[in-house]
């Protein structure tokens, strides 16, 4: 699987947040993942599983108290060894982020046009006139039919969906090779969600952009992501083709998650019927479990599960699963 | 949109949950709320968030108001909880019209109607511990320390939190746990009606299922009545007895949940159902019968 087409190779990445007292919290713990050029990879996981920390690590936009170990090879260069100046030239031009909440990331005292123009100015030597043209083109590309009107609008004058489009236009302004989208649709309603997903698909198609998209919602990945990596408590527990992960999940956690996802979208109204749920909560990131992190909640746990962490077994040639059900 | 808007049936025997009593708890008629928009320099214009809303809920029932953002559903919720004062219309809580009551006269009703918001943490003092958040309403009502502590402990257990965590700062709890704390706080006042404004939105799928189940359990245990505000028709269909669909400040279609989902009439309902089904369809096409 690993070949020259790899755009991004994450090897044994760990991100630790130093706590005021006691041992540092390992938000991401030993994550390895390869992403090929022009691929759309989804990271599926619940809040607190470390998926946003992973996104932050890729752009080296973590809190100062976070410490990274391992390797993040982007086109062969380890992002963890770059200087601040080198990182600034990578961010926005080679790797760009679509944030979760554009209302928080867009400067409220700048117009939409200048927000997008700012990214171009930081990376490309364009004159004011050319830059304005590019911004208009980008606004059109993200679906604004009348870009002149949006160009001079402030973010508070825009709807949530429009703001997310501005954030996407900012991210794709310099035609980055890799887009990292951190829950880009979680604040939007169902109709807007599908529009954003369609827009991202279109960007990949037109520009060959590689996309790493993070979400807690399996439905978002259906028909969109090529592959999915499932994260639980800081680790990837299962990787595979999107159709396989959603249609035939192998890890007990993914199986439980899919039971919930398919039941809450089943529109047969059965008032006051309890929904299938996973009992318990994810482990506190501060506590270290010797064994599998899903073991306390797992309906199929065995004795070995609490003793050591399962390595990736290959029940099928292209499907690594970290679960003792498939070997040990 | 036809001139004749369907009114919400106050009670339908088939859809009462629990005891089967038809005692009406809340009756809203002709509710209207306008906001003014404008700035220092521009002319102020009135924007009607809710043009006219009529509905009723019986004790122990769940009524869901669904609609797209901007349809006016949250404004209805805020008027019922009397965070906003409506411009016109009646809000009859067990026969008493609370629509225009002033602060002092509202006090007894504040206990009976409690509200839970989407983003629980923004409705909590970030410097408080879980215990302080939960007992805050009781402290305002000058209950004794002993009573407060006892009830907070019992409610924490009931909503699925360990009382050992009561002194932990609110910032150390996850989104789902904070929503449990918000529910415990609301229950300290022994309310009859809970107004849940997108209380399940923004949670993970598994957390959402847990909180939904908790709502079902609490409703049965306390004979609670829910006014549930959501844009997620698929989720609402699992929880509500009655659904009212809102569009442009009006309830455009209302009826038993089953009927709304299986036989939608209004274009707004059809649109909501279509987007819920589109999301479901993508998954079921892949998952098929394998689960």
Q: For A144-171, how does the pLDDT look when each residue is reduced to its tens digit (9 = 90+)?
A: 999 999 999 999 888 888 999 999 999 9
Q: Is A191 on the interface with B (CB under 8 A)?
A: yes
Q: State the nearest Cα–Cα gap between B171 and chain A, in angstroms.
A: 13
Quote the pLDDT of residue B288.
61
Label residue B18 by pLDDT band (50, 70, 90): very low
A-to-B residue pairs, Cβ atoms closer than 8 angstroms: 142
Of A219, A257, A268, the CB nearest to B282: A219
Residue written as token pair 């809000």? B91
Domains of chain A: 6-94+176-326 (3.40.50.300), 102-175 (no CATH)
B17/A40: higher pLDDT: A40
A124/A275: higher pLDDT: A124
Please report residues of B whose CB lies closer than 8 A to that of A282.
174
Label residue B56 by pLDDT band (50, 70, 90): very high
B241: nearest Cα among B255, B224, B220? B255
Neighbours of A290 (CB within 10 A): 11
Quote the pLDDT of residue A19.
72
The arrangement of strands across the sheet holding A210-215 comes to A95-98, A178-182, A210-215, A40-44, A227-232, A235-241, A319-321, A313-316
User: Searching chain A, which residue's CA lies closest to the CA of residue B230?
Assistant: A189
Mean pLDDT of all residues belonging to chain B: 86
Q: Does B94 score more than 60 pLDDT?
A: yes
Q: State the nearest Cα–Cα gap between A294 and chain B, in angstroms.
A: 14
Quote the pLDDT of residue B9.
46
- Greatest CA separation found in chain A? 68
Distance CA A159, CA A267 (A): 28
Of B15, B175, B261, the CB nearest to A267: B261
Distance CA B216, CA B212 (A): 6
pTM for the complete prediction?
A: 0.82
ipTM for the whole complex: 0.73
Helix (H, G, I), strand (E, B) or coil at A26: strand
Label residue B39 by pLDDT band (50, 70, 90): low
Quote the pLDDT of residue A1.
43
Q: Does A303 score more than 90 pLDDT?
A: yes
User: Searching chain B, which residue's CA lies closest to the CA of residue A219?
Assistant: B283
Q: Does B2 score more than 50 pLDDT?
A: no
Q: For A110-146, how does the pLDDT look when each residue is reduced to its tens digit (9 = 90+)?
A: 999 999 999 999 999 999 999 999 999 999 999 999 9
Lowest mean pLDDT of A129-133, A289-293, B20-24, B170-174, name the range: B20-24
User: Searching chain B, which residue's CA lies closest to the CA of residue A100?
Assistant: B202
Q: For A5-26, how does the pLDDT look when each residue is reduced to its tens digit (9 = 90+)?
A: 689 999 999 999 887 767 788 8
Quote the pLDDT of residue B40.
60
Lowest mean pLDDT of A241-250, B123-132, B258-267, B272-281, name the range: B272-281
Angle of helix B205-222 relative to helix A252-265, nearest 10 degrees?
Answer: 60
Quote the pLDDT of residue A264.
57
Q: State the nearest Cα–Cα gap between B84 and chain A, in angstroms.
A: 23
Q: For B195-207, how does the pLDDT look when each residue is reduced to its tens digit (9 = 90+)?
A: 999 898 878 888 8
**Cβ–Cβ under 8 Å, residues A215 and A221:** yes
Write out the DSSP string of A90-123: HBTTTEEEE-S-HHHHS-TTSBHHHHHHHHHHHH
């Amino acid at each position: 699987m690993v070949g020259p087409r790899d755009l991004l190779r994450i090897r044994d990445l760990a991100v630790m947040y130093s706590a005021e007292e006691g041992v540092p919290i390992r938000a991401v713990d030993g994550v390895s993942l390869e992403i090929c050029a022009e691929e759309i990879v989804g990271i599926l996981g619940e809040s607190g599983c470390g998926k946003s920390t992973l996104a932050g690590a890729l752009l080296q936009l973590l809190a100062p108290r976070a410490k990274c170990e391992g390797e993040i090879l982007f086109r062969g260069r380890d992002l963890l060894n770059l200087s601040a100046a080198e990182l600034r030239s990578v961010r926005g031009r080679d790797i760009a982020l679509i944030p979760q909440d554009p209302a928080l990331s867009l400067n409220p005292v700048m117009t939409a046009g200048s927000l997008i123009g700012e990214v171009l100015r930081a990376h490309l030597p364009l004159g004011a006139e050319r830059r304005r043209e590019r911004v208009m083109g980008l606004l059109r590309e993200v679906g604004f039919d009348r870009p002149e009107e949006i160009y001079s609008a402030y973010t508070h004058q825009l709807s949530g969906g429009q703001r997310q489009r501005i954030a996407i236009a900012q991210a794709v302004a310099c035609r980055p090779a890799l887009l990292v989208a951190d829950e880009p649709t979680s604040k939007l309603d169902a109709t807007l969600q599908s529009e954003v997903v369609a827009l991202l698909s279109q960007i990949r198609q037109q520009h060959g952009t590689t996309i790493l998209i993070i979400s807690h919602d399996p439905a978002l990945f259906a028909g969109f992501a090529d592959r999915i990596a499932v994260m639980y408590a800081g680790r990837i527990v299962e990787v595979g083709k999107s159709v396989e992960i959603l249609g035939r999940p192998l890890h007990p956690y993914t199986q439980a998650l899919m039971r919930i996802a398919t039941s809450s979208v089943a529109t047969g109204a059965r008032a006051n019927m309890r929904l299938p749920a996973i009992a318990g909560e994810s482990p506190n990131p501060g506590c270290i479990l010797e064994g599998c992190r899903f073991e306390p909640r797992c309906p199929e746990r065995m004795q070995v599960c609490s003793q050591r962490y399962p390595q990736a077994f290959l029940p099928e040639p292209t499907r690594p699963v970290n679960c003792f059900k498939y070997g040990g | 949109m036809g001139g004749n808007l369907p009114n919400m049936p106050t009670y339908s025997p088939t859809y009462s949950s629990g005891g089967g009593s038809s005692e009406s708890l809340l009756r809203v008629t002709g509710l209207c709320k306008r906001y003014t928009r404008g700035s220092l320099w521009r002319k102020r214009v009135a924007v009607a968030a809710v043009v006219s809303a009529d509905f009723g809920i019986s004790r122990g029932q769940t009524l869901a108001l669904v609609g797209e953002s901007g349809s006016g559903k949250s404004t209805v919720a805020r008027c019922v909880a009397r965070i906003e004062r409506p411009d016109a219309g009646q809000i009859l809580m067990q026969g008493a019209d609370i629509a225009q009551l002033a602060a002092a006269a509202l006090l007894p009703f504040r206990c009976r109607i409690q509200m839970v918001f989407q983003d629980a943490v923004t409705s909590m003092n970030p410097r408080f511990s879980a215990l302080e958040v939960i007992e805050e309403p009781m402290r305002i009502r000058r209950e004794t320390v002993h009573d407060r502590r006892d009830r907070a402990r019992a409610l924490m257990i009931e909503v699925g939190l360990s009382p050992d965590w009561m002194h932990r700062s609110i910032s150390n709890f996850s989104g789902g746990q904070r929503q449990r704390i918000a529910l415990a706080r609301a229950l300290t006042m022994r309310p009859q009606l809970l107004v849940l404004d997108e209380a399940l939105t923004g949670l993970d799928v598994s957390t959402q299922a847990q909180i939904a189940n908790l709502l079902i359990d609490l409703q049965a245990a306390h004979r609670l009545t829910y006014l549930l505000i959501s844009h997620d028709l698929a989720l609402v269909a699992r929880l509500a007895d009655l659904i009212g669909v809102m569009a442009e400040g009006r309830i455009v279609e209302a009826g038993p949940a089953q009927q709304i989902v299986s036989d939608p009439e209004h274009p707004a309902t059809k649109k909501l159902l279509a987007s819920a089904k589109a999301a479901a369809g993508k998954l079921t096409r892949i998952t098929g019968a394998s689960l």
